[in-house]
A and B are shown apart, each in its own frame.
Chain A
Amino acid sequence: MKIVVAVKQVPDLQQVRIRNRQPVLDGVPFTLGKIDKNAMEAGVQLKEASGSNLIVLSVGNEEVEETIKEALAAGADEAYLVLDNKLVDMESSFSASLIAAAVKKIEDVGLVIFGEGSGDNYSGQVGSRAAEILGLPQVGCVCQIELEGSRVRITRSLEDSEEVLEVQLPVVVCVLGDINEPRIPSVTQILKAGRKPQEIIELSDLDLDLSAAKKVTTLNNLAPENDRKRVAVKTVEDLVSALQAEGFMGRK
């Protein structure tokens, strides 16, 4: 059986600066989304427990070839990449159709694992949309996955409760960031990553309508205005006076 982990390369958010309320993305390196690393770790743990083959799948521009080495170092056996320099700023519905089309090219897929949201947009649609296109059941907000032969037991963590579910493979799961603590790859793993097989899929190899109209437009994208008072307070006395003046004392 094969386990597929779908990941997205995102700009390293720690390095995004704001200038005149505009995000500056030039020169910001790409990395894997934070929760995507948890999705990878979940895949590695299931691979270790079941002896499955672990494939990392991504779509994007040619820089993905470099970014994906993080996932190969983390323990994926091989990468399937849909690469084209047109594939930037894709909307969720388009990413999902590319990922679903690529998954269809892989035989004997038991599990497709996504992070619950990408590091940059955090829209959380791609896993659900891909599951629908593939016609597979899905479970999101997953905090535990246990393979039991051809079935899988999954725990979904909601705001105020947890549900334990069971379903026949294949299934799509979207994992939470707190499902695990991703291991840091060893130097040997990192060195090996560059030699692991990468299957490059051309856009023309996928049965897709690339002319579909955009479903969502972004009118603007600005950092919020900071209109805080920014009063420097020196002593606890001053702080308490300020809280009093604002009417926060003696409310209880």
Chain B
Amino acid sequence: MVILIYSEKSELALELLTAARVLGKDIGTDINALSINNDIQAEELAAAGVKTYSIKNSAINLADTASVAGGVYKAAMQLDASLVLLASNRRGKELAGRLAQKLDAGCLTDVNGLQVINEKVQCTRNTLGGATIATQQIESNRQVIALAPHSFTAAAHLEGGVIQDLTIEAEASPIILIESRSKTGDVVDIEAADILVVVGQGMEKDDMVLAESIAKTLGGELACSKPVATDKKWLTEDRIIGLSGKKCKPQLAIILGVSGQVQFTVGIRDAHTIVAINNDENAYILQMADYAMVADLKVILPQLHKALG
């Protein structure tokens, strides 16, 4: 099977390489990486030991999904790749559908696990808003699979990689990039944190400072359920955990005042240890905790803060 991996983010492309190698253990694979208008990335990928095709064509516009899909499509056809692995970050997920349509391929996005059974790639992903985990497989000859970020570790340095230029024709893009700006505020990577203190709507704003201090004391980061960022705006959106936020697997999650709807729990249920504190004894979050405490946060947080001191 010829696999082509592509992500505009090198770190994610290296995760795809690990996934491709996992598949390669079970089915004979020829793994190829692709980089588009990015010499540094081509070198990073080749340094991880993979044959890397480098497209240099300024007509391919990274901000234009159709344009990128056209480039990846042509590369997949030239290399006769039957499986294209993409990252399921925002750009990758947008690309997946368009590329799959061009390839007449079945496609699965947000895939968080892969295994080969009877020479078929079985994928796991969340469905029904995260209430269930489906095992699915693609039946068409060509497949596009977009892997959720951090489902695999990034491939390390390895000898044997080469860079080869790939010539791909492209039409002018109709999309004009007027401006690209970094998101303001404290951009934090909660997915990388070992310990998370997660706050929900059961918290009072005055107590946020305590939660933050507890996170700091433990050497962790502060995260939140969606409404805390989007409705209350106490924290920035990059700290949201859940279906439409980040999916984190910290060693420890201390969850404060979150009821535990599945749209939230899907983002934290892979934590190693979960502590939940909630004043509602029927809150679902208490059922999915290793240590569950029914208590008033107003009373408990100052005590916990002091005890961790």
A contact residues vs B (CB 8 Å cutoff)? 11, 13-14, 16, 18, 23, 35, 91-93, 96, 117, 119-129, 131-133, 137-141, 153, 156-168, 174, 176-178, 213-224, 226, 228-234, 236-237, 239-240, 242-243, 246, 248-249, 251-252
Contacts and interface: CB of A to CB of B under 8 A. Distances in A.
Contact of B291 (A160, A165, A217, A239): A239
By secondary structure, the A interface counts as mixed
A138 B217 CA distance: 45
B133 interface: yes
A249 B254 CA distance: 13
B133 A222 contact: yes
A61 B298 CA distance: 49
Interface in B212-255: 216-219, 230, 237-238, 243-244, 251-252
Given A138-B94, A239-B304, A233 B292 contact: yes
A49 B289 CA distance: 48
B183 interface: yes
Given A137-B64, A177-B244, A228 B274 contact: yes
A244 B174 CA distance: 58
Given A92-B107, A128-B96, A221-B134, A160 B237 contact: no
Contact of A216 (B106, B237, B286, B288): B106
A241 B126 CA distance: 35
A239 B275 contact: yes
Interface of B: 63-66, 69, 89-91, 93-98, 100-102, 105-110, 122, 126-129, 131-140, 173-183, 187, 194-195, 216-219, 230, 237-238, 243-244, 251-252, 261-263, 269, 273-275, 286-294, 300, 303-304, 307-308
B179 A163 contact: yes
A153 B175 CA distance: 10
A213 B139 contact: yes
A55 to B, nearest CB: 22
Contact of B308 (A164, A233, A240): A240
Most buried by A among B91, B293, B300: B293
Contacts of A233: 275, 291-293
Contacts of A224: 132-133, 269
Contact of A128 (B95, B173, B275): B95
30 contacts: A13-B128, A18-B132, A23-B131, A96-B101, A120-B127, A120-B128, A123-B109, A124-B93, A124-B97, A125-B96, A128-B97, A137-B173, A137-B175, A138-B98, A156-B63, A160-B238, A164-B177, A165-B177, A215-B138, A215-B139, A218-B135, A221-B128, A223-B131, A226-B287, A229-B290, A230-B290, A236-B304, A239-B291, A251-B219, A252-B217
B146 to A, nearest CB: 9
Nearest to B62: A163
Given A23-B128, A131-B66, A177-B244, A161 B175 contact: no
Contact of B63 (A123, A165, A218, A246): A165
B65 A128 contact: yes
Given A23-B131, A132-B101, A216-B139, A248 B252 contact: yes
Given A23-B128, A120-B128, A223-B131, A132 B181 contact: no
Given A138-B98, A213-B139, A230-B292, A122 B126 contact: yes
A234 B141 CA distance: 57
| A-B pairs, 5 with minimum CB distance | A128-B97, A215-B106, A125-B97, A252-B219, A140-B94
Contacts of A214: 139
A129 B100 contact: yes
